[in-house]
Structure 1
Amino acid sequence: MTTTEEDKKPDRRVQRSREALRCALIALMKKKSFGAISITEIVETANYNRGTFYSHYDGKEALLDDIIAELIRELLQSFRAPYEGTDVFLISELSANSVMIFDHIYENASLYTVLLKSEVLPKVKEAMLLALKRILVEELQPVDDGRGLNQELLVVYAIHALLGLVFYWIENGFHYSPAYMQEQLVKIINTDPSSARSNVKRPQH
């Protein structure tokens, strides 16, 4: 059965109205806290009515969840880029050019900055953490190298390290370019911690 242009129009209208509502909420979150935003403000900013809003969402929390879900979907797509289409992924052969996660963050810099400054940040961080943990566990099965590493702890460590870099970068206003962040991530991954040296500074009395 062939889908006609007429069949596609309702879907396009739904997509347009949802996108307008998402953009409206994000615009309002730049000005005030999420808790202080009303449905009326959202629909007036989006130039829709309350009926249209409630035909898509139960409330502003559902709209926020939709924004976060779309962001996570794009985040995971960028995270998968280095190993998509391969059977064996060698972290030692990871190239900076194949790391796409910082490009994704930078392309959505305005949204990530808004979320970072909002009271919904813990919700966003938890969603990112759980999503990355899920694909690391389900899609990347580490090869046992005999060192006795607890794989669950390794996954948690890796995710928190990556997200730590990401949020540090956002908090500092994207001071470094995406290319520089990609290059540094690869260098960090390939650094042997046992060879690291630090000068110890004694406290001054």
Structure 2
Amino acid sequence: MEVFELNKLTTSAIKVFDHVKRFAVFYSLTVQTTTLAGFQHRFCSIFKELALNDFYKDFPNPKINTELSAGYQAYAIFGLIIEWINGGFKYSSSYMTEQLLEIIKYNQSGSVYNPRIDSK
């Protein structure tokens, strides 16, 4: 059985941003129009399904609900795509892929935040 390790994932393995860039007009229209309201949900459903089928077969943490985690990942990726579209595709697809990879790796690192709380 082939094992998928996120920490060994490379930018060449992630093609979603190349696809979005190649079909930029289509994605821009579907994200920015109100007539295709179900598109965003369908898009995220496909990402969620892919995650459940490919990445969560033997999920190592039984405390995490795999359905919720896959949904979180799907909507997070779609959120990056929306930001990219709304920003006029100002970054290259390879830059977006690199950013996604860095975000994934950072979120896996178990980093601890020290939120800045202003006292008033």
**Higher RCO (C-alpha 8 Å, min separation 6):** 2
Q: Distance in 2 between the 1:139 and 1:98 partners?
A: 14
Equivalent in 105, 108, 118 of residue 33 of structure 2 = 118
**Contact 2:31/2:40 (<8 A) preserved:** no
Structure 2 residues not aligned, in runs of 5+:
none
| Greater fraction helix | 1
Letter in 1 for 2:12: N
Letter in 2 for 1:148: K
- 1:102, CA displacement in angstroms? 0.3
> How much does 1:99 deviate?
1.0
State the match for 1:28 in structure 2: none
> C-alpha separation between the residues in 1 aligned to 2:76 and 2:6?
15
Q: Secondary structure at the match of 1:112?
A: helix
The TM-score, its normalising length taken from structure 1, stands at 0.52
Cα RMSD (Å) of the superposition?
A: 2.2
What is the TM-score of this pair, normalised by structure 2?
0.83
Note closer, same or farther for the CA distance 1:198–1:168 as it changes in structure 2 (3 Å cut): farther
In 2, the alpha carbon distance for the partners of 1:177 and 1:127 equals 25
C-alpha spacing 1:175/1:201, structure 2 compared with 1 (3 Å): farther
**Aligned residues between the structures:** 119
Partners in 2 of 1:173 and 1:126 — Cα distance?
22
Residue in 2 that maps onto 1:93:
8
Structure with bigger gyration radius: 1
Report the CA distance shift for 1:160/1:171 in structure 2 as closer, same or farther (over 3 A). same
What are structure 1's unaligned runs of at least 5 residues?
1-85
Letter in 1 for 2:7: S
Match in the other structure for 2:59: 144
Q: Any idea what SS the aligned residue of 1:159 has? A: helix
Provide the rounded CA distance (Å) in 1 between the counterparts of 2:31 and 2:41. 13
Tell me the CA shift for residue 140 of structure 1.
Answer: 3.4
Q: Work out whether 1:195 is the aligned partner of 2:116.
A: no
What residue number does 1:72 align with? none
